[in-house]
Amino acid sequence: MDAPVIEIIDTREPDEKNFIEGATGPWEVVIGMEVHAQVLSNAKLFSGASAAFGAEPNTHVSLVDAAMPGMLPVINEFCVEQAVRTGLGLNAKINLTSVFDRKNYFYPDLPPGYQISQYKQPIVGEGTIYIEVDGEEIAVGIERLHLEQDAGKSIHDQHPDYSYVDLNRAGVALMEIVSKPDMRSAEEAKAFVSKLRTILRYLGTCDGNMEQGSLRADINVSVRRPGGPFGTRCEIKNVNSIRFIGQAIDYEAQRQIDILEEGGTIDQETRLFDPKKGETRSMRSKEEAHDYRYFPDPDLLPLELEEEWVEQIRATLPELPDAKRKRFITEYGLTPYDASVLVADKAAADYFERVAKGRDGKAAANWVINELFGRLRKEGLSIEQSPVSAEQLGKIIDLIKKGDISGRTAKELFDIVWTEGGDPERIVEERGMKQVTDLSAIEKVVDEVIAANPDKAEQAKAKPNVAGWFVGQVMKATQGKANPKAVNELVRRKLGIE
């Protein structure tokens, strides 16, 4: 069977800011990604066994997963729906006919001796993901998305003489999402994986947990002279954190440049990233598609979807991050940067909207991004675990707006609500945190302070800066509760400064 011929088109103009200076001139790195995303589903792709992570080894294994003779795969409709939903979320073409093939190879964690995957006719075709790097929007092409089974897990470090196999993961549905070689820096590749993860989470089709392996990236890296023909690529397998993706690319690009500058050539190979050393090393020479003896799985019919069913799924798509970001900018007057920060996590975006509804959007964004996110990060909590609810934060902002508390008191109040909980308004009442805006009360204190310091008051007439000292004294005398603006105005008027 012929391999699908993919024509690679260069969609990018060379940009100097991405060049890597070598001894013989500048180089440009070219990156394409293959991301494996575990489908969020209770059951596996072709069996009813649980797809849950972290169970006792070999407790989630059906006869199909164990490849017992005569067992037949039955497609899980929900996994198909999830793949279609993802395709729609990536602005991609949904192929109403797709075909499952067998990809043949031997490994102990693959009991049938083949992986069921889609090769020539994937369920999803071309699409686009938009990323933002240094304020610039870049379109990264998606080549395809196909459904396939995951393999089991081999465990080599439990016993000096034996290896173990855990088949819980065998047969779990994966979406392989393949990008075009449209990225030109480690930053862009990192932004691509973050953005893809955000979209998958919005869609609810993958939990995006890289630590648990539900999102893994294979990174294809090559280098070339800027704008020249594409170079030979190496593929770095299974990198499992965004930070490692950046490190692996930087290391690999430099390795290839060093070889080429010494007159060598790049062997197309599969490499592994060692996070401890920050290096990639050769794993095997690149396998070719024909090595896998792909052929359509005779146990499965071609997958035929109805247009109407696809449209039903489209109708249930949530608002996605790009649309939400645009709306946050127009509806709440946020800066593009703040909007991007907020929409990166759907729970954070939802929280922000609950705070911002009926209030000043910019103030809400400031509080959420600076105070709340800052504190959450410091304490290692997620937004779902925030001790301060959106309602409580909203009330704190209302108290500032009403002039009941100053910005400084608000921060103290935030801290009290964070550690002790409670209704912000009541806390302000009960602990006497309300700022004094009653002008006659403030005036009395201003008069007292001026009367007690006649020399300073005299100086202030010549040197208006001294007025600041009086403001400080009044704030001190009122334990910071006086409205600073009112104090400032009163002090200046009483001292006769205009």
Tell me which residues touch ligand ADP (CB under 6 A): 8, 30-34, 178-181, 220-222, 230-231, 233, 235
The H-or-E segment that residue 131 falls in is strand 127-133
Q: Which residues contact 56 (CB under 8 A, 6 or more apart)?
A: none
User: Could you give the CA distance from residue 240 to residue 353 in angstroms, rounded to a whole number?
Assistant: 32
Nearer to ligand ADP, 80 or 178 (CB): 178
Cβ proximity to Mg ion: between 111 and 122 the closer is 122
Our CA dihedral for 250, 253, 258, 263, rounded to 10 degrees, sits at 180
Nearest approach, Cβ of residue 143 and ligand ADP (Å): 6
Nearer residue to Mg ion within complex by CB, 44 or 144: 144
Q: Shortest Cβ distance from residue 218 to Mg ion (Å)?
A: 5
Q: Which does 460 bind (CB under 5 to 8 A by kind): ligand ADP, Mg ion, none?
A: none
Which tokens is 468 given?
């600041």
Least Å from the CB of residue 235 to Mg ion: 5
Min CB(124)–Mg ion separation in Å:
17
User: With contact defined as beta carbons under 8 Å apart, do 294 and 83 qualify?
Assistant: no
Residue 57 is given by DSSP the state T
Minimum separation from the CB atom of position 122 to ligand ADP (A): 10
Minimum distance of ligand ADP from residue 435's CB (angstroms): 59
How far apart are CB 390 and ligand ADP at their closest, in Å?
40
- In 59-120, DSSP assigns E strands to 97-98, 101-104, 114-117
- 246, 244, 219: which is closest to 233 by C-alpha? 219
Of the ranges 27-35, 97-105, 292-300, 469-477, which one interacts with Mg ion (CB under 5 A)?
Answer: 27-35
Site for Mg ion in 151-190 (CB under 5 A): none
Query: Which is closer to Mg ion, CB of 34 or CB of 299?
Result: 34
Burial level of 186, CB count in 10 A (0-12/13-18/19+)?
buried
Under the phi-then-psi rule, with left for phi > 0, alpha for psi from -120 to 50, and beta for the rest, what region is 160?
alpha
Considering only the stretches 34-42, 253-261, 314-322, 456-464, report the one whose residues sit in contact with Mg ion under the rule CB under 5 A. 34-42
Taking CA atoms, 449 is separated from 101, 439, 452, 462, 480, in Å, by 87, 15, 5, 18, 15
Give residue number: closest CB to Mg ion: 34
Which one of ligand ADP, Mg ion, none is in contact with 32 (Cβ closer than 5 to 8 A by kind)? ligand ADP
Residue 239: strand pairing partners: 217
140 burial class (0-12, 13-18, 19+ CB within 10 angstroms)? buried
Cβ closest to ligand ADP, residue 167 vs residue 221: 221
Q: Which of Mg ion, ligand ADP, none is residue 256 near (CB under 5 to 8 Å by kind)? A: none
Q: Are 300 and 97 in contact (CB under 8 A)?
A: no
- Beta carbon of residue 247, minimum distance to ligand ADP (angstroms, whole number): 17
Tokens of 459: 């100086």
Choose among 87, 67, 71: nearest CA to 79: 87
Q: What's the residue count for the chain? A: 498
Binding partner selected for residue 74 from Mg ion, ligand ADP, none, CB under the kind-specific 5 to 8 Å limit: none
Query: Which of these ranges, 33-41, 45-53, 134-142, 331-339, lies near Mg ion under the rule CB under 5 A?
Result: 33-41
- Report what 446 binds from Mg ion, ligand ADP, none; CB cut-off 5-8 Å by kind: none
Taking the complex as a whole, how short is the minimal distance between the CB of residue 109 and ligand ADP, in angstroms? 19
Tell me the residue number closest to ligand ADP, measured at CB: 32
Minimum CB distance to ligand ADP smaller for 270 or for 366: 270
Nearer to ligand ADP, 103 or 325 (CB): 103
Q: CA geometry: angle at 193 spanning 187 and 198, to 5°?
A: 120
Comparing CB distances to ligand ADP, the nearer of 8 and 52 is 8
What is the full DSSP assignment across 18-41? G-EEETTEEEEEEEEEEEEEE---
Q: Which of the choices Mg ion, ligand ADP, none does residue 200 contact, using the CB cut-off of 5 to 8 A by kind?
A: none
3-state SS assignment for residue 178: strand
For ligand ADP, which is the closer residue by CB, 292 or 469?
292
Which residues of the shown chain bind Mg ion in the complex (CB under 5 A)?
A: 34
